[in-house]
Amino acid sequence: MRWRLLPHLPQSAGLRLLDVGAGGGVPGIPLAIARPEWHVVLVDSNGKKATFLTQAAIELALPNVRAVATRVEDLHDEPPFDVVIARAFSDLRTFAHSSARHCRLPARSMR
């Protein structure tokens, strides 16, 4: 069974999306490809992964993608995000606690 994310996300231009624990860039990079009008920030605490994500964005010509090497708890000076997403970051409680302050209100969750 395939789970499709894109139909469940807002379709507005200029949407800001934060991918927490971005790892190899899934789903952040495919979403940035599918929605080039979105601003996608990929956060991973592993510097090597963030470097890879930066290079991937360059090679794929994705000016709408920015990778940040930090823990989501230490991410500062960012405007609120319309969507905060994670594929394999942590359990739901930790994810919600760590990333809630980055959400533009009102926040909603998808299951």
Q: Residue 105 and residue 108: Cα distance in Å, rounded?
A: 8
Measuring CA to CA, which residue among 102, 84, 94, 69 is closest to residue 19?
84
**pLDDT, average across residues 52-69:** 98
Predicted structure pTM score: 0.87
Give 89 or 105, the one with higher predicted confidence. Answer: 89
Exposure letters 30-59 (e unless 16+ CB within 10 A, then b) = ebbeebeebbbbbbbbeeebbebbbebbee
Residues paired with residue 67 on neighbouring β-strands, in sequence order: 42
- Residue-wise pLDDT for 1-25, tens only, equals 355 777 878 888 999 999 999 999 9
**pLDDT, average across residues 32-46:** 96
